[in-house]
Amino acid sequence: MDYRGIITIEPGKRGGKPCIRGLRITVYDVLEYLAAGMTPEQIVADFPDLTVEDIRACLAFAADRERKLVKVPA
């Protein structure tokens, strides 16, 4: 998924953390809700400005960031 049109980073918003479509909801917020056991549908119900596609974009962003991490030698 191409998340670049959904995940935005603005220096003055939420401390420059990656947010969803310029909203004040961060990728971290969404990932935390998912980790706590909420379904994408429950998150969208609690935050009507979000869509299930936004949730998928957060996962794609996190996966891409993880892929780019430097590996630590064993």
Residue 1 lies in a domain: no
Q: Is residue 74 part of a domain?
A: no
Give the pLDDT of residue 21: 96
Q: Which long-range contacts link 4-10 to residues 24+ away (Cβ below 8 Å)?
A: 6/53, 6/54, 6/57, 7/57, 7/58, 7/61
- Asked if the structure places residue 70 within a domain, the reply is no
Tally of domains within the chain: 1
Give a yes or no: residue 47 inside a domain: yes
List the domain range (segments joined by +) for residue 41: 7-63
Residue 18 domain-assigned (yes or no): yes
Contact 6, 20 (CB under 8 A): yes
In a domain, 16, yes or no: yes
Mean pLDDT by 10 residues, the chain (74 residues): 95 95 97 98 97 98 89 74
Residue 7 bridge partners (DSSP): 20
Question: With a threshold of 0.75, does the pTM exceed it?
Answer: yes
CATH number of residue 26's parent domain: 1.10.10.10
